[in-house]
Amino acid sequence: MNQVIELPELTTIPVYSTHLGRAYCGDSRELLAELPDGSLNLVITSPPFALLRKKEYGNRDQHEYVDWLAEFASLIYHKLTEDGSFVLDLGGAYQRGKPVRSLYNFRILLRFCDEIGFYLAEDFYWFNPSKLPSPIEWVNKRKLRAKDSVNTVWWFSKTEWPKANVSNVLVEYSDRMKKLLKAPDKFYSPAKRPSGHDIGKGFAKDNGGAIPSNLLQIPNSESNGQYLRGCKELGIKRHPARFPAKLPEFFIRFLTDPGDVVLDIFAGSNTTGAVAETEGRKWLAFEQNIEYIAASTFRLVDSNIDQATLKRIYNSILQNDKTEIIHYMAQPSLFKLMDSVES
């Protein structure tokens, strides 16, 4: 039986609310502190890397960055349910002036497990085939390094047994597997593989898809979504470091049930909140930049909304007029809404 938790109340007033979620403006450390312990099923986020980029990439700065991020992680640890998860997407970096990698993402992994008490449930790798070659100096000019197109995505859990169901994120079968499912007898004779795996007849059972691997191939190349359209229509600068919806979608489906509570502590353009809303999960978004929060409403309002209304919503948020964007939203799928209210 699932433990049902409500969307937690904070003392801070949300900037906007939807059917299932609320977006807050402020420093996430302060907002996290307002949450009751055990009130979140999943925290998924991608932290700002600017802190690291602005400075020298030496060891000292890496340690400072790890210390800074550990403050958030310690708070998150207490706010998660016992079977909750914390998924952290981290891009790789080079040390300044040298073709030598920074170890900060691995330092984070070790610190969070050794000192905060998280478990590494699984290490994931996000391969973004549309990533441009960088750093130009080492890759394009001097041809000393390969293109860096994989982010580490650490799936931390509070206990050894986080909630997870891989059946919710099955991927399409390979062509070979599809053939095998059609005619298992013709295709091969069951035998023991050199690896020791006993491939019996059960292997030819159609489970609706294949188990995904921990290498997630997701291009970050969205060009015509509702968010970008809104930014374009209103002449607003788009958020420079959005992640693709497929990334939070994978972990939200994998690690939560409808009605669970999902938080992104560095919400940016609120990709996570918008996906959670579509998936029938309750959500919270924390972001310190009010302009990013205002523009994030474009993801959540009805796609038929006219430009003047979009502008009114955007401006009313900047003018601190708390907006009930719920009135401008597409009707949620009744089925998903019922699921999240009742479960």
Ligand X SMILES: C[S@@+](CC[C@H](N)C(=O)[O-])C[C@H]1O[C@@H](n2cnc3c(N)ncnc32)[C@H](O)[C@@H]1O
Q: Which residues are catalytic?
A: 46-47, 89
Per CB under 6 A, the segment of 139-147, 263-271, 299-307, 316-324 that binds ligand X is 263-271
Q: Supply the DSSP symbol for 267.
A: -
**Cβ-proximal residue to ligand X, closest one:** 268
Per CB under 6 A, the segment of 122-130, 165-173, 286-294, 314-322 that binds ligand X is 286-294
**Residue from 292, 300, 323, 336 binding ligand X (CB under 6 A):** 292
Residue 104 or 292: which CB sits closer to ligand X?
292
Task: Give yes or no for a contact between 121 and 157, defined as CB atoms under 8 angstroms apart.
Answer: yes
Count the alpha carbons within 13 Å of 202 in the hemisphere toward its beta carbon: 4
Tokens of 238: 């788009």
3-state secondary structure 179-198: HHHHCHHHHCCCEECCCCCE
Rounded to whole angstroms, how far apart are CA atoms 91 and 105? Answer: 8
- Give the per-residue contact string, 301-340, with ligand X (x = CB under 6 A; - = no): ----------------------------------------
**Residue from 14, 268, 273, 280 binding ligand X (CB under 6 A):** 268
Residue 180 or 275: which CB sits closer to ligand X?
275
Tell me which residues in 1-40 interact with ligand X (CB under 6 A). 27-28
Q: How many residues bind ligand X (CB under 6 A)?
A: 17
Tell me which residues in 36-65 interact with ligand X (CB under 6 A). 46, 48
Closest CB 50 distance from ligand X, rounded Å: 8
Residue from 249, 217, 49, 62 nearest 124 by CA: 217
User: Could you identify the residue written with the tokens 């007849």?
Assistant: 201
**Residue from 112, 126, 155, 266 binding ligand X (CB under 6 A):** 266
- State which amino acid sits at residue 216: L
Q: Supply the DSSP symbol for 170.
A: -
Closest CB 189 distance from ligand X, rounded Å: 49
Task: Give yes or no for a contact between 134 and 147, defined as CB atoms under 8 angstroms apart.
Answer: yes
Q: Supply the DSSP symbol for 137.
A: I
Q: Decide: is 152 part of the binding site for ligand X (CB under 6 A).
A: no
Task: Give yes or no for a contact between 150 and 127, defined as CB atoms under 8 angstroms apart.
Answer: yes
**Residue from 289, 307, 309, 315 binding ligand X (CB under 6 A):** 289
Give CA angle at 216 (46, 165), nearest 5°: 90
Per CB under 6 A, the segment of 137-145, 150-158, 168-176, 266-274 that binds ligand X is 266-274
Which neighbouring-strand residues pair with 153? 89, 124
Q: Decide: is 95 part of the binding site for ligand X (CB under 6 A).
A: no
Per-residue CA distances from 189 to 185, 193, 207 (Å): 7, 11, 20
Residue 83 or 222: which CB sits closer to ligand X?
222
Tell me which residues in 202-261 interact with ligand X (CB under 6 A). 239, 241-243
Query: Which residues lie below 8 Å from residue 128, measured CB to CB, with a gap of 6+?
Result: 149, 150, 151, 218, 219, 220, 244
Rounded to whole angstroms, how far apart are CA atoms 101 and 52? Answer: 13
Residue 44 or 305: which CB sits closer to ligand X?
44
Closest CB 85 distance from ligand X, rounded Å: 17
The residues that touch ligand X, with contacts defined as CB under 6 A, are 27-28, 46, 48, 239, 241-243, 266, 268-269, 271, 286-289, 292
